[in-house]
Amino acid sequence: MVALAVILFAITLLTIDLVIQARQKKYPLMSPSLRSSEKADVVRMPKSVFFHPAHTWARMEGADSVTVGLDDFIQKAVGAIDKVYLPMIGQKVKQGDPVITVHHGDRKLMLVAPISGTVFALNNDVLDNPALIAANPYEEGWLFRLEPELLANSLSLLTIAENAVSWIRTEAMRFREFLAGQTLQHATLGATMLDGGVPVANSLEYLDDSSLRKFEDQFLR
């Protein structure tokens, strides 16, 4: 009797929870997007990877293997990525070619390859479950591997470690100024900026389509 009652009660609560969750998803603006506001201007910048100025990264795994992904900054700015398109295995990509597409709802952004080479492996887990990128864009959230070509040449454009950190800081200030120049659709964002902080999390969600294209031009190429 007691057991039955407890289980039924628990299942009722669980159902209520699922209903609440489902309804929140329908109205994304009702959920506080900038919930972890104090963490909003923190990004991960591991010292072991090379960063391309257009926010993708590359890491040497061995003589003929380089792993590629997108950086934490862009990942946070876009918000939850729900679809990724990658180049095909065997495809030759050139540094700076827009070969990665990420979707957030009906918006999409194209990102470039950080170095040139031939793609030989894709991260199937990420294709199935793009949320892995949010978990850690440098580990389980990697995108593809390629066999590099003219590696030294490609690398000269990339930054690493301390240089990457100061680069991302200037990049953040540039981003702040960029946002200030656009008409924003969300008051919270403005408030964060007045604080002197750089609002990153989900901030692209509040740009209209033309601003988004501008962003792509100025930051992702």
Contacts to other proteins by CB under 8 A: 1-7, 10-11, 14, 16-17, 20-21, 35-36, 41-47, 125, 128-129, 131-132, 134-136, 140, 165, 168-169, 172-173, 195-198, 200
By the 10 Å C-beta count (0-12 exposed, 13-18 middle, 19+ buried), 156 is classed as: exposed
Instruction: Name which of 113 and 200 has its Cβ closer to other proteins.
Output: 200
Give me the least distance between CB of 167 and other proteins, in Å please: 10
* Contacts of 69 by beta carbon, 8 Å cutoff, 6+ apart: 56, 57, 133, 137, 138, 141, 142, 143
Instruction: Name which of 198 and 220 has its Cβ closer to other proteins.
Output: 198
Q: What is the dihedral of CA 113, 116, 120, 123, to 10 degrees?
A: -20
Give me the least distance between CB of 104 and other proteins, in Å please: 16
Give me the least distance between CB of 220 and other proteins, in Å please: 18
Instruction: Name which of 79 and 148 has its Cβ closer to other proteins.
Output: 79
Give yes or no for a contact between 220 and 204, defined as CB atoms under 8 angstroms apart.
Answer: no
Instruction: Name which of 88 and 135 has its Cβ closer to other proteins.
Output: 135
Identity at 97, one-letter amino acid code: D
Give me the least distance between CB of 3 and other proteins, in Å please: 4
CA distance 76 to 143: 16
